[in-house]
Structure 1
Amino acid sequence: MAAVLIFASILVPIITALVEMIKKTVDLRVNFISVLAFLVGLIIGLAAFPFTDLDSINRLWAGGLAGLAATGLYEVVKQRENKPKGGDE
């Protein structure tokens, strides 16, 4: 399980960048962004067989977790950017 979490943490920034790239090129409803990130995570996790010795089920788990984490990471950064800097939080 530790290998899955390590692999997922490596995939998170990659999936975040890919989802942002897709969002910039395709007009997509906000409701589907987390589903898109999950699916991209599954695809990237499955396609990463030359880079890891995990079996396909563990790569799918890592990709799915990374896709969901990428959505959460983006939302945290987005909310942080909208807050004023300084002590007025």
Structure 2
Amino acid sequence: MYQVLVFSTILAPIVTALMELLKRSLPRLLPYHALLSLVVGAVLGAAAYPFTDFELTARLWAGGLAGLASAGLYNSFSSRKHPPDK
């Protein structure tokens, strides 16, 4: 399990960058950001076959976790309130 978490930590910035690219290219997909992030993470985890010796299920879990983490990270920073100007 530890290795899956480490792998998802490595995938999270990559998924975040890909999702930012998709959001800017296709803004109509913005309401489905979390679901799309989960799918992109899982696909990216599955595509990492040459780089890991994990089974497919472990790679899918790591990619899904990375996708959900990147969606949560985006939502937490985009909903921040800016301090008032003085």
TM-score, with normalisation over the residues of structure 1?
Answer: 0.86
Question: How many residues are treated as equivalent by the alignment?
Answer: 84
| 1:8 partner letter | S
Partner of 2:24: 24
Counterparts of 1:30 and 1:24 in 2: how far apart (Å)? 9
Counterpart in the other structure of 2:83: 84
Structure 1 unpaired stretches of 5+:
none
RMSD: 1.4
SS in 2 for 1:46: helix
Matched-pair identity in %: 46
Structure 2 length as normaliser, TM-score?
Answer: 0.89
Per-residue CA distance 1:43-85 (angstroms, 9 max, x = gap): 00000011111111000000001100000111122234x4218
Unpaired segments ≥5 residues, structure 2: none
Structure 1 segments, 4+ long, off by >6 Å, are none
